Amino acid sequence: MPETSGSTGRTPETHVIDFRAAEQLLNARDPRGAVKLLDSVIAAHPENTAARLLRARAFFAAAQLRPAELEFTIVLEREPDNAFAHFALARTFERRGESEQAKRHFRLAAALDPNPEYLKAAQFDA
């Protein structure tokens, strides 16, 4: 009998399938559907940074900015050198009108990864 997580009867393989399906839903512009799938994945595997990053992106796409900020922050607590998470958190702050917080994370993203999009957003010359 396969190992299950919790009382839901879900297997680790099911969580991988849910994660992949959530990626597809996010790509198909259904962020709320992606969040629903990722909730069970994260409940079973709260340490899974990839799932948290995907859920943060889904929250952002659904304009749920506070939950997006929380998830991006959790990712950065675990991976402080994750340039994408800094960039995405900066976009979250930017959307909320918190320009100083946004600028800080844009600059951290650009310092960690000289991606042209990150460098442009960092506005080092301003």
Q: For 8-20, how does the pLDDT look when each residue is reduced to its tens digit (9 = 90+)?
A: 567 889 999 999 9
Poorest-confidence range of 2-16, 20-34, 43-57? 2-16
Q: How many C-beta atoms lie closer than 10 Å to residue 35's C-beta?
A: 24
Q: How many C-beta atoms lie closer than 10 Å to residue 97's C-beta?
A: 8
Report the predicted TM-score, pTM, of the whole model to 2 decimal places. Answer: 0.88
pLDDT of residue 3: 41
Dig out the tokens for 77 from the structure.
Answer: 């607590």
Q: For 54-90, how does the pLDDT look when each residue is reduced to its tens digit (9 = 90+)?
A: 999 999 999 999 999 999 999 999 999 999 999 999 9
The residue ranges of every structural domain in the chain are 1-63, 80-126
Cα separations in angstroms, 45 against 22, 23, 65, 86, 102 = 15, 17, 23, 23, 29
Which position has the token pair 């799932």? Answer: 51
